[in-house]
Amino acid sequence: MKILVSTAGRHGATASLAQEMARVFQHEGADVDVRTPDSVDDVSRYDALIIGSAVYSGRWLPVANKLVNRVSGMEHPPVWLFSCGPLHSSNRPVNDTSDAAHAVSVLTAISHRTFTGKLDAERLSVGERQIFASSGAVAGDFRDWVLVCNWAREILACLTAKKPGA
Ligand SMILES: Cc1cc2nc3c(=O)[nH]c(=O)nc-3n(C[C@H](O)[C@H](O)[C@H](O)COP(=O)(O)O)c2cc1C
């Protein structure tokens, strides 16, 4: 089983979710590549493709959108998508962006999940700090590793069901 995980982020939270998914996939015996979106070319040799993006001001990052559009023009394996964004773990509507909806549609993705992220105010650029200050959001680490690992296991279960004996 060969899986490609490709994510876009600015400050490491999305990449850390990707690494955790890759760890689960590897632990369960899959062969995993983790690549930046701009380095992804041929995806036909993979059994699954996971694409993720951090959410900034309600949008996926452009490099993730570009990957989605590129892959939609290629022969591609089943796709799973995730967004990394909200900074609250509860009492908040799921932050579904139009970019994620577009990606689900053009890639006929199996599923899209939104995971809570992380924000360290010290690491923000001046512009980001201004947007953050006016948003009312709270800085902190809201990553939920159990949800992330469970989703990775769901993906593996789905792939194994599609490919008996893998
Ligand atoms: C300027 C700014 C704007 C943000 N806008 C959103 C947003 O619209 N929706 C959301 O869910 N999270 C938003 N976030 C939170 C980030 O998506 C979150 O911190 C994420 O984990 C960042 O991932 P990264 O470290 O991979 O870049 C914003 C954060 C910053 C600093």
Q: What is the pLDDT of residues 47-64, one digit of tens each?
A: 999 999 999 999 999 999
Q: What is the spatial distance between Cα 36 and Cα 162, in angstroms, rounded to a whole number?
A: 27
Instruction: Give residue 106 CA to ligand 1 midpoint distance, Å.
Output: 24
| Residue range 3-15, pLDDT digits in tens | 999 999 999 999 9
Pair 57, 29: CB distance under 8 Å: no
Question: Does position 21 have pLDDT exceeding 80, yes or no?
Answer: yes
pTM of the model: 0.94
Residue with CA nearest ligand 1 atom 17: 85
Residue 151: both structure tokens together: 């989703």
- Collapse the DSSP code of 78 into the 3-class scheme (helix H, G, I; strand E, B; otherwise coil) and give the result: coil
Question: How remote is the C-alpha of 20 from its chain's centroid?
Answer: 11
Q: Please report the pLDDT score of residue 162 as a whole number.
A: 75
Instruction: Give residue 148 CA to ligand 1 midpoint distance, Å.
Output: 17
Return the bridge partners of 118, or none.
141
Q: What is the spatial distance between Cα 101 and Cα 76, in angstroms, rounded to a whole number?
A: 18
Residue with CA nearest ligand 1 atom 31: 128
Residue 13: count of CB within 10 angstroms of its CB: 23
Instruction: Give residue 55 CA to ligand 1 midpoint distance, Å.
Output: 5
Q: Please report the pLDDT score of residue 22 as a whole number.
A: 98
Burial environment of residue 132 by CB neighbours within 10 A (0 to 12, 13 to 18, 19 or more): middle
Backbone angles phi, psi at 38, to 5 degrees: -75, -10
Question: Does position 91 have pLDDT exceeding 50, yes or no?
Answer: no
Mutate to test the pocket of ligand 1, among 7, 63, 87, 138 (most ligand atoms within 8 A of CB): 87
| Residue range 70-88, pLDDT digits in tens | 999 999 999 999 999 988 7
Residue 86 CA: nearest ligand 1 atom is 11
Backbone angles phi, psi at 135, to 5 degrees: -85, -20
